[in-house]
Amino acid sequence: MVTLVTLATCSPWIVQSAVEILSLDSTTPIEWLPESFPPRQAYGLFCREFESGDVVVASWPECTLGSPAIDRFIAAATGPNAPRNAGGKLWFESAVAGTTALERLTSPPLSLDRDTAIERLKGVLVGPDGRQTCLIIALTEAGLTDRRRATAWIRDTLLRTATTEADDLHLAGSVVDNVTVDEASAESLHVYGGPAALAIFLLTWWSLRSMRYALLVFLLSLVCVGLCFVSLRLCGDRMNPVLIVMPLLVLTLGVSGGIHLVNYLGEASQQGDEQMVAWRAIALGWVPCSLSAGTTALGLASLVISELEPIRVFGFHSALGVLATLAVLFLIVPGVYSRWPIRRATGGDVEASATSSRFAAGVVRSAGPIVVVAAIAMLVAVVGVPGIRTSVAIDTLFTAESRMIRDYHWLEQAIGPLVPVEVVLRFGEASDIRPAERLDAVQEVGAALRDLPEVSGVLSAATFLPDLPAASGSRAAARKAIVARKLEANLASLTDMRIIRDTGREQLWRVTARTSALAGIDYSEFLDEVRRRVDPVVVAHGGAAHGLTADYTGAMPLINAIQKTLLHDLFTSFLSACLVISLVMMVVERSVVAGLVAMIPNVFPMVLLFGLLGWTRLALDIGSVMTASVALGMAVDGTFHFMTFFRRGLSRDEGGADDAGGAAATRVGAVYEAFRHSAPALTQSAIVCGLGILAFAGSSFAPTRRFAWMLSLLVATALVGDLVVLPALLASRVGRWFEPRRSKNS
């Protein structure tokens, strides 16, 4: 009663916390990485030295060179009436188009002819047809904070000034990616959260066959979901796309624990005085329920070691939510049950018991072949595990039919690839390399990048400066000197265009190459190839000895760093969770070997699924990486509950285990008892968890969808592990390790 009153009193605060957390913008991918992470530091330095890498790329069929709509938009975005936030700070840092760059190239002092100038801009700001161009709008810090409103302003303004057809307007870029991720992840919760919660409630009702207890367990689990939002608020953590699945996950885990607790209460009610049913149930079930919730929390908490904020925050607060459900359910449900027990018809229980017995008999008869097949399947899967790869590229975040992917396809065909790779040549203050020679180095770097098949275009100082004479002789030397003077005279304008920067301590020359966001490029291999091509150019021009170094940054190195971190997190979090849970299992089973054997059905689902993904080379995203540790914790739940009744069966028949045959018969009998008492609850719990999470499989946000179907598949496979592989191991010769010591000694 005290717990119920406390929760009721705190409910307004819980609701307020949930509303505040869900109303916040989620974090951007660069914020997922810690500030000490080298790629983030390099990218942040690049943004401070040149310009924000957070841009919106916009185009439409009539967005051609010389289009007056481009000028109208640039005037609206950067003029005296440019949009600002509530504090008066501008949203946009700059807005440029191919027209702006073309004017620079065709005007004095360069005065290139129009065709040559357009050729230089193809694949970056001008399309293959020589006419189509795009707008590139860079956002300020204030604009990023209001990125949803800023992006909406861009879209609305272009629909007023450029095109009236919404389908003809195509937006892309990092800011649009972030906004679309925010909207898609929030939509997943708003659209699928309610139906998923309803499905979970109905499945709970079906499992418990009591509306009263289904409602009680559901509401208590829902309150614990609210407590997760309270912990988010207290810790100052923000919403992110990964956290969208947290409420439903904690709800399903809470309901699952409630089903098992009510099952123990039902067992206790059949053993005598109803006045003591709550205490008998607690005595019978507190250890397996605590171990189940504890190991699930350990699996989730293992994600805290991740360097990526979304995974770390998800693991921490989900673990707190699971532990909260354990405490709340034990404090309330047994007391309610002792006053108002469930009165069930015996027919359903008898039929369920008969079904469990028949299934158990089949497993026991085929124990040997089951163990062999499971072992072979795991070995084959393990061979494929090294092939696992990860990706956070845009094509792994959305379906091929989504508006975002369609816009990327259109822009890459009309203009060129959109993912930038930035090479910054740094000439130190003491560098003796002259400006003309620096331009030589930039041209050679640009040529090296342009030779890569993945690169569509290169933009650098060489794009906006005259070519240096290649011939020798006195006349060539004179012409080269003239061009060098023009180059020095143009450095100021290139500084304004953020292509060359002079910091006082060093001079920076920027070379930007563009690659496709949708071509499935292996970013790690591509970046290695970029370094192999550029490093010799740096060395040929003197390298560090002459004050010249090269930095590699931009969106692609950042994405590559996130992908490597994801792969590292997958293995480290899973292995750490597996190690800790294995130690717990050894302590519970009082045997190192028995504990390791009991872990086989728990790692069985993860090995099979991730081995298959390794064999098929399907990329894992930020959502699917978390499923291994989460599913491991959930799989152990069933093992603890099954082993509780198995050990109870062994202790009852221990006296008949005087020889090998008797010991085997005792194990088989204990397997039958474990099936009879735990199989229905394990099946119901798996159905609730699997189908509840599967509701998100329809989400348009791919990480949420993959998390849903992968976790549901792992839950289903974990049920096979607990009700097929584990009983087969216990009934086979391997099961001797689980016999009480007195039986083994005799």
pLDDT of 372 reads 92
The per-residue pLDDT for 316 is 92
pLDDT at 345: 45
Quick one: tokens of 98?
Answer: 């191919």
295 has pLDDT over 80: yes
Could you report the per-residue pLDDT of 497-537, keeping only the tens digit for each? 678 888 888 989 999 888 888 877 777 788 889 999 999 99
Give the mean pLDDT of the chain.
82
How many Cβ atoms sit within 10 Å of the Cβ of residue 235? 12
Which pLDDT band holds residue 744 (cuts at 50, 70, 90)? very low
Q: What residue type is 11 in one-letter code? A: S
pLDDT band at 743 (very low <50, low <70, confident <90, very high): very low
pLDDT number for residue 484: 60
HEC sequence for 86-141:
CCCCECEEEEEEHHHHHHHHHCCCCCCCHHHHHHHHECCCECCCCCEECEEEEECH
Tell me if 34 sits within 8 A of 362, measured CB to CB.
Answer: no
Going by pLDDT thresholds of 50, 70 and 90, the confidence category of residue 478 is low
Taking CA 569 as the corner, what is the angle to CA 193 and CA 316, rounded to the nearest 5 degrees? Answer: 50
Whether residue 21 is predicted with pLDDT greater than 90 in this model: the reply is no
- Write out the DSSP string of 598-666: HHHHHHHHHHHHHHHHHHHTPEE-HHHHTHHHHHHHHHHHHHHHHHHHHHHHHHHTGGG-SSHHHHHHH
Q: How confident is the model at residue 456 (pLDDT cuts 50, 70, 90)?
A: confident
* CATH code of the domain made up of 179-396+560-745: 1.20.1640.10
Q: Which two tokens stand for residue 118?
A: 């357009």
- The CA-based dihedral angle spanning residues 272, 278, 283, 285, taken in that order and rounded to the nearest 10 degrees: 110
pLDDT at residue 56, rounded to an integer: 92
Residue 244: C-alpha distances to residues 22, 239, 303, 365 (Å):
9, 8, 16, 45
Each domain of the chain, given as residue ranges in start order, spans 35-172, 179-396+560-745, 419-515+522-553
Q: Which of 279-283, 308-312, 640-644 has the lowest mean pLDDT?
A: 279-283
Res 380: pLDDT: 93
Q: Does residue 740 have a pLDDT over 90?
A: no
Tokens of 15: 């609701």
Question: What whole-number distance in Å separates Cα of residue 156 and Cα of residue 137?
Answer: 14
Q: How many angstroms separate the CA atoms of 404 and 172, rounded? A: 7
Tell me which residue of 722, 742, 593 sits closest to 645, measured CA to CA: 722
Q: Is the model's pLDDT at 601 over the cut of 60?
A: yes
| Position 654 confidence tier, pLDDT thresholds 50, 70, 90 | low
DSSP 154-193: HHHHHHHHT-S-GGG-EEESHHHHHHHHHHHHHHHHHHHH
What does the pLDDT read at residue 61?
92
Tell me the CATH class for 419-515+522-553: alpha beta
* pLDDT at 355 > cutoff 80: no
Average pLDDT over residues 101-118: 82
In percent, how much of the chain has pLDDT > 90? 18
Q: What is the pLDDT of residue 170?
A: 95
Average the pLDDT over each of 33-47, 64-78, 234-248, 469-483 and give the range with the smallest value: 469-483
Quick check: 348 pLDDT over 50?
no
Whether pLDDT at 196 is above 60: yes
Same fold, 179-396+560-745 and 419-515+522-553: no
Report residue 347's pLDDT band, with 50, 70 and 90 as the boundaries.
very low
For residue 385, pLDDT beyond 90: no
Question: Mean per-residue pLDDT for 288-294?
Answer: 84
- Compute the distance between CA of residue 249 and CA of residue 245 in angstroms, rounded to an integer: 6
Q: Which of 305-314, 411-420, 527-536, 735-744 has the lowest mean pLDDT?
A: 735-744
| Region at 590 (left for phi over 0; alpha for psi -120 to 50; beta for the rest) | left
Quick check: 468 pLDDT over 60? no
For a pLDDT cut of 70, what percent of the chain falls above it? 88
**Phi and psi angles of residue 399, each rounded to the nearest 5 degrees, phi first:** -75, 160
